[in-house]
Amino acid sequence: MSSRTVETVYDRDRLRRARIAVAAVFCVHGAVTGSFATRIPWIQDHAGVSAGQLGLALAFPAIGASVAMPLAGTVSHRFGARTALRGLLALWTLALTLPALSPNLVTLCLTLFVYGATAGMSDVAMNALGVEVENRLDKSIMSGLHGMWSTGALIGSAAGTLAAHLGGDARLHHVLAAGVLTLLGLIACQGVLDLRSAPDEEPPPRFALPPRSALLIGAVGFCAVFAEGASLDWSAVYLRDVLDTSPGLAAASTTAFALTMAVARLAGDKVIDRFGAVRTVRTGGVLAAAGGLLVVVAPHPALAMGGFGLLGLGVSVVVPLAFAAAGRSGPNPSQAIAGVATITYTSGLIAPSAIGAVADATSLVVSFGLVTLLACGLMVGAGVLRTGDRRGPATATAAPEA
């Protein structure tokens, strides 16, 4: 075997290990979100806030992320991608402990600001590494990585469902979960690519406006992530307040939603390769709209849970496809991907507060009528993702590996 062949085999093995490692990071990140989402009713009761006040508090993760996300590139440039991800992911897992400790609205808003800031920075860092692995492997893996995030959210929400069913204190639950997830995150980060900037390379700009070509793609992603964020954070509250279910069954609705998201994303790459991006998203839009309508009209918790499951199935692969389409939408793929990521991520963070505001003014039923309307936007806007049909890996720039 020639030295060139040995080197090629080594590179492939290293990339396979890096793929597994970054998938584990996505799983840990999702587990934090799932752990938090299922205990929102407990946190609401502990802080003594109304639906409208909860919606206001849930706007603070979006504010924190918007302020902090631009710093992720600077941190990675200074410390290297692996070290940066290790630190940012640890901050995010530890931030899980904060919201449940909040005794009132003011402290809840402050802790959710920190929660959102750490979520946003670690999210940017891990997605950048995921895109780099995809480029080097020369095949689509982003849907699968997002599937691992949903798997983590499912695991976290399942544990939260059990804790809620047993009447466990969310403060103790989240301290234990944060300790375990921090350890797992540090182990996973050991295997990711260690990308480092050249000594004379200029640091990335703090802010970059997305190109015009990315705005329509981002709008489609906005509709999908709004439905995802609303369902993840409000499904348990919806079943408890609208359909008068028990805390354990209400939390199980979040688990059902996360389950369908995980399964669909893990199978997403094969479905997209067979049917194409546009057809996949249009079909998903039909399923999501049907699920939202079922939630709105459901007289029984089982039907509402089925509706949340359809919502998760319908929106599952839109974000990975939006990233792929952005990477082929213009002369500056990395800027387009960053722009779409900012739009979609912001959508997921503002959705919970928007749902709360509408619920406070009208009702949660009307709020999910809005979710259903936005799901219809997937059917209308799917055509802009045509450039995301797989013809090769999404293009992105990256620093050399040390």
Instruction: Convert the pLDDT of each residue in 267-282 to its tens digit.
Output: 887 888 788 889 999 9
Which stretch of 7-21, 79-93, 114-128, 237-251 has the lowest confidence by average pLDDT?
A: 7-21
Give the torsion sign (CA, 268, 269, 271, 272). positive
Q: What is the pLDDT of residue 3?
A: 39
- Strongest mean pLDDT among 32-46, 85-99, 153-167: 85-99
pLDDT of amino acid 112: 95
208 pLDDT exceeds 70?
no
Indicate if the pLDDT at residue 246 is higher than 90.
no
In this predicted structure, the answer to whether residue 265 has a pLDDT above a threshold of 50 is yes
Average pLDDT of span 109-118: 94
Any idea what DSSP says for residue 207?
Answer: -
> Residues 323-359: pLDDT tens digits?
777 766 665 555 566 677 778 877 876 787 788 889 8
Per cent of the chain over pLDDT 90 is 36
Query: Is the model more confident about 122 or about 6?
Result: 122
Q: What is the mean pLDDT of the chain?
A: 83
- As a whole number of angstroms, the distance between CA 369 and CA 289 comes to 10
| pTM, two decimal places | 0.76
> Predicted confidence band at 141 (pLDDT cuts at 50, 70, 90)?
confident
61-89 confidence digits (pLDDT tens): 878 887 787 788 788 878 888 999 999 99
pLDDT for the residue numbered 198: 64
Predicted confidence band at 211 (pLDDT cuts at 50, 70, 90)?
low
Please measure the distance between the N-terminal and C-terminal CA atoms of the chain and give it in whole angstroms.
Answer: 26
Which pLDDT belongs to residue 98? 95
Q: Does position 292 have pLDDT exceeding 80, yes or no?
A: yes
Residue 276: which region, alpha, beta or left (left: phi > 0; alpha: psi -120 to 50)?
left
Question: DSSP assignment of 225-239, as one string?
Answer: HHHHHHHHHHHHHHH
pLDDT at 4: 43
pLDDT greater than 70 at residue 1: no
Phi, psi angle pair for 305, to nearest 5°: -65, -40
